[in-house]
Amino acid sequence: MAIELKRVDEFAVVTLRRPEALNALSFALIEDLGRTFDQVGGGDARALIVTGAGDKAFCAGADIKELVGRPLMAQKRGAETGQAMFAKLDRLPMPSIAVLNGYAFGGGLELALACTFRLALPNARMGLPEIKLGLVPGYGGTQRLPRVVGAARALELILTGRTVDAAEAVRIGLANRLVDGDPVAAGIAFAREFSRYSLPVLGFAREAVTRALDTPLNEGLKVEADLSTLAFRTEDAAEGMAAFIEKRAPRFHDR
């Protein structure tokens, strides 16, 4: 299998396993990723960690050999399929963390951008080099990258196709943190900073921030009011406030 899904404690871990191809995204692998994300979404994991096998690449991008000579409509359907599979990450009921170990180029970086968070090992290298092939990113890169690093930096990276190292990625906000050691262990350590909180409330917070990117401030404030009200009505909110007053750790039950 080119994709491994396993459970580590309360977390789901997805590993791309095509090290001989630097974990490149074939069309079959993209379809398998979509099914894997559906499986994770139907489970009870507290977070999803995504990484790549080996120490050379998280994911080196699309399998270029599959792109050569494709009819126009087949290429469009391929882009739409990739976008749809990666969009499943946005809809997961739990946060997702991409741990970038090595190359994350093209579709590999687009996969990472679809995750809630990105952690970079010191050897991580990121970029959207499609312009060098006479192409444009097609799996969400032109839309998600500006939302992460801003329009000016996104245009620079997309139009030059240049590579960003781990330190620069953290500096410009492309990666949340620089980490070291085992990628899965690093992802789990990061996830444990929020995984003890209520999953429904974490979801409300994620949705509120995401909606801020697509709405004017006055409309976004209405969304925030609605979602904060929903959070207030959960059993976990009652438990959290009671625990604060009683000076004890809260016991959340995702209700």
Task: Choose, from 4, 20, 31, 130, the residue flagged as catalytic.
Answer: 130
C-alpha 178/C-alpha 162 separation (Å) is 20
C-alpha 194/C-alpha 188 separation (Å) is 10
Instruction: Name the DSSP class of 4.
Output: E
Q: Annotated catalytic, 207?
A: no
Q: Annotated catalytic, 31?
A: no
Enumerate residues 6+ apart whose C-beta is below 8 A from 230.
204
Task: Choose, from 66, 110, 207, 235, the residue flagged as catalytic.
Answer: 110
Q: If you compute the radius of gyration of the chain from its CA atoms, what whole number of angstroms results?
A: 19
C-alpha 222/C-alpha 57 separation (Å) is 42
Among 186, 199, 3, residue whose Cα is nearest residue 93? 199
Please provide residue 193's backbone torsions phi and psi, each rounded to the nearest 5 degrees.
-70, -20
Residues annotated as catalytic (active site), given as ranges: 110, 130
